[in-house]
């Protein structure tokens, strides 16, 4: 679902419990308006690209009637076809179609608020996708009334900023809003003087800015240093330090849902059967060559549950996967070193897909190691089984604004090995609820990752009582949405009514 999706599901429900009337507004992407219970409520006029566009506002049934869900429908919001939320553009035109899509969405959202389609106490924006709303609100004629409505901007991932040219391209600020002149200091990217940066604009112009964990709010005040494995401000650190000096930057940890569930661990045969069923389903969908490799790896796993089952669930991106593939002091990757440490007594199951180059590197390791199963793809049901079935969850993110996987694993009494960054540091306590590693360089971090995993495996094998205590302590942690909602309420929402 992703971090933004988790917040837009969990936070509004928690706010409704506290007496608020949240309205969640998203693009329809050519699909939400086709849901069985969708109803068109109105049409709005949107100035965009030098023309007036008519966009539809649809009401969507959500899981709780106390939270109103609205979706804006227009052809510009589904340029790659219905249901395609993101587009794949060539390297020379990054974010081109997505940036145009979300620029139109920002313009439509501003028109909806201006024309009374919604009447909010607070407008809460999320990530670069909604960042240009602040530009429209601040500088475009006819939208001055929006400045009286408190606007909050949440940074979920500073590494993605939606940067596009200021002019000279059909996907540029000039093309989106021709005839409008915006102050350069408000829109320009700090590294590329000929580009607009929606993330930077929102950071500079929103009334309040927050990140999704307290530690991440401090990390991003510093410049990134890839050579030292430190991913932080990503060019916006000077802007963010100014926001902090002005008292506009706050870190609030995301929440997690805690449904009633059995602590009983799924049986090994049940897990193997579920994995096999999912592989066969993927093969039928057209990925036969790729999934046949997974099937072959599955066949090599032991028929009885091994002593240690390690799990990793998540997208294969540089953020999530780089440290698995970083070389350690002995020349092997951290992933290979961990598999060597496991030997015949354990297995590692990794579920995910993403960057093709990373997939190929992980697959090459899976071909070499009989105790490693790499599952290409994603299934929510299978992920839930892995969270419940594993002994140890591995999450060595290079950076992590908040993270949800570690919370879900801990909820299922599965301790985690995590890199001590961002929300991972805020949720996992070394030796108490899991295992935390650090390091001054990627090499140091890879070595520390392997060592922390070794510490966990040694404790599991040598001290059953201590291991049980650690599992129970992890399972009793509560990072609830109610706690997060109270913080948003006090820091951001209540002042709007004062």
The string of DSSP codes covering 10-52 is: HHHHHHHHTT---EEEEE-TTTGGGSTT-EEEEEEEEEETTEE
- Measure the CA dihedral 78/81/82/84, to 10°: -80
Q: 384-426: per-residue pLDDT in tens?
A: 999 999 999 999 999 999 999 999 999 999 999 999 999 999 9
- Residues 327-342 have a mean pLDDT of 97
**8 Å CB contact between 204 and 186:** yes
- Residues 450-477 have a mean pLDDT of 97
**Predicted local confidence at residue 496, as pLDDT:** 67
Q: Under 8 Å CB-to-CB from 273, ≥6 apart: which residues?
A: none
What stretches of 368-462 adopt beta strand conformation (E)? 372-376, 392-395, 416-419, 434-437
CB atoms within 10 A of CB 271: 21
- Residues 353-382 have a mean pLDDT of 93
**Is the model's pLDDT at 470 over the cut of 60?**
yes
**Is the model's pLDDT at 111 over the cut of 80?**
yes
**Residue bearing tokens 């429209």:** 136
* Sheet hosting strand 51-60, strand order edge to edge: 23-27, 68-73, 51-60, 39-48
Q: Largest Cα–Cα distance of the chain, in whole Å?
A: 71
**Predicted local confidence at residue 264, as pLDDT:** 82
Rounded Cα distance between 98 and 393, Å, is 33
Beta bridge partner(s), residue 46: 53
| Structural element, H or E, at residue 105 | helix 96-114
**Predicted local confidence at residue 495, as pLDDT:** 78
Which CATH architecture does the domain made up of 268-477 adopt?
3-Layer(aba) Sandwich (3.40)
**Predicted local confidence at residue 415, as pLDDT:** 98
Q: 37-58: per-residue pLDDT in tens?
A: 999 999 999 999 999 999 999 9
Strand pairing report for 208-211 and 308-313: unpaired
Residue 141: left if φ>0, alpha if ψ -120 to 50, beta else—which one? Answer: beta
Confidence of residue 6 (pLDDT cuts 50, 70, 90): confident
Question: b/e for 140-171, b at 16 or more Cβ within 10 A?
Answer: beebeebeebbbbbbbbbbeebbbbbbeeeeb
Confidence of residue 305 (pLDDT cuts 50, 70, 90): very high
Confidence of residue 92 (pLDDT cuts 50, 70, 90): confident
Residue 485 token pair:
């909602």
Choose among 166, 171, 44: nearest CA to 98: 171
Rounded Cα distance between 176 and 493, Å, is 31
Domain ranges of the chain: 3-255+483-497, 268-477
Rounded Cα distance between 101 and 106, Å, is 9
User: What is the Cα Rg of the chain in Å?
Assistant: 24
Superfamily of domain 3-255+483-497: Glycogen Phosphorylase B; (3.40.50.2000)
**8 Å CB contact between 115 and 145:** no
Residue 74 token pair:
């227009």
Residue 321: exposed, middle, or buried by beta-carbon count in 10 A (0-12, 13-18, 19+)?
buried
Task: Please calculate the CA angle 430-435-437 and round it to the nearest 5 degrees.
Answer: 90
Question: b/e for 222-258, b at 16 or more Cβ within 10 A?
Answer: eebeeeebbbbbbbbbebbeebbeeebbbbbbbbbbe
CB atoms within 10 A of CB 79: 17
Q: Do domains 3-255+483-497 and 268-477 have the same CATH topology?
A: yes
CB atoms within 10 A of CB 97: 18
Rounded Cα distance between 417 and 429, Å, is 10
**8 Å CB contact between 25 and 12:** no
Rounded Cα distance between 452 and 287, Å, is 35
3-state secondary structure 249-310: EEECCCCECCCCCCCCCCCHHHHHHHHHHHHHHHHHCCCHHHHHHHHHHHHHCCCCCCCEEE
- Residues 300-305 have a mean pLDDT of 94
**Is the model's pLDDT at 219 over the cut of 90?**
yes
- Residues 296-324 have a mean pLDDT of 95
Choose among 346, 285, 279, 341: nearest CA to 311: 346
What percentage of the chain has pLDDT greater than the value 90?
86
For 73-82, 211-220, 279-288, which range has the lowest pLDDT when averaged over its residues? 279-288
Choose among 13, 76, 3: nearest CA to 480: 13
């Amino acid at each position: 679902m992703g971090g933004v999706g988790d917040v837009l599901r969990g936070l509004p429900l928690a706010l409704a419990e506290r007496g608020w009337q949240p309205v969640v507004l998203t693009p329809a992407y050519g699909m939400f308006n086709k849901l069985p219970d969708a109803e068109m409520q109105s049409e709005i006029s949107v100035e965009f690209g030098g023309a007036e566009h008519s966009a539809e506002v649809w009401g969507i049934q959500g899981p709780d009637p106390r939270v109103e869900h609205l979706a804006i429908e227009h052809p510009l919001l589904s340029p790659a076809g219905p249901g395609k939320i993101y587009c794949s553009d060539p390297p020379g035109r990054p974010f081109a179609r997505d940036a145009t899509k979300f620029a139109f969405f920002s313009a439509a959202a501003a028109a909806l608020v201006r024309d009374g389609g919604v009447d909010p106490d607070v407008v809460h924006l999320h990530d670069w996708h909604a960042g240009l709303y602040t530009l429209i609100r601040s500088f475009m004629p006819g939208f001055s009334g929006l400045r009286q409505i408190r606007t909050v901007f949440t940074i979920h991932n500073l590494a993605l900023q939606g940067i596009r040219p200021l002019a000279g391209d059909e996907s540029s600020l000039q093309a989106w809003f021709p005839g409008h002149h915006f102050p350069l200091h408000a829109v320009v990217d700090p590294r590329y003087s000929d580009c607009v940066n929606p993330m930077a604009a929102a950071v500079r112009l929103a009334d309040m800015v927050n990140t999704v964990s307290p530690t991440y709010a401090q990390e991003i005040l510093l410049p990134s240093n890839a050579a030292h494995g430190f991913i932080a401000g990503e060019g916006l650190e000077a802007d963010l330090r100014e926001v902090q000096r002005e008292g506009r930057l706050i870190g609030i940890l995301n929440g997690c849902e805690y449904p009633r569930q059995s602590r009983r661990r799924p049986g090994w045969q049940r897990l193997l059967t579920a994995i096999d069923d999912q592989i066969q389903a993927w093969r039928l969908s057209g990925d036969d060559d790729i999934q046949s490799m997974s099937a072959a790896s599955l066949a090599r796993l032991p028929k009885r549950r091994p002593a240690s089952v390690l799990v990793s669930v998540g997208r294969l991106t540089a953020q999530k996967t780089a440290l698995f593939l970083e070389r350690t002091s002995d020349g092997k990757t951290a992933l290979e070193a961990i598999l060597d440490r496991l030997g015949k007594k354990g297995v590692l199951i990794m579920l995910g897909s993403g960057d093709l180059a990373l997939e190929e590197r992980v697959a090459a390791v899976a071909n070499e190691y009989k105790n490693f199963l790499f599952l290409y793809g994603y299934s929510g049901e299978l992920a839930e089984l892995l969270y419940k079935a594993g002994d140890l969850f591995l999450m060595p993110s290079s950076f992590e604004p908040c993270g949800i996987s570690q919370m879900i694993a801990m909820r299922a009494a599965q301790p985690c090995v995590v890199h001590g960054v961002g929300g991972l540091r805020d949720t996992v306590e070394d030796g108490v609820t899991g295992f935390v590693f650090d390091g001054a360089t990627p090499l140091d971090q890879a070595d520390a990752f392997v060592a922390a995993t070794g510490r966990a495996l040694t404790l599991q094998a040598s001290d059953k009582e201590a291991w049980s205590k650690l599992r129970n302590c992890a399972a009793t942690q509560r990072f609830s949405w109610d706690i997060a909602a109270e913080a948003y309420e006090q820091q951001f929402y209540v002042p709007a009514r004062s």
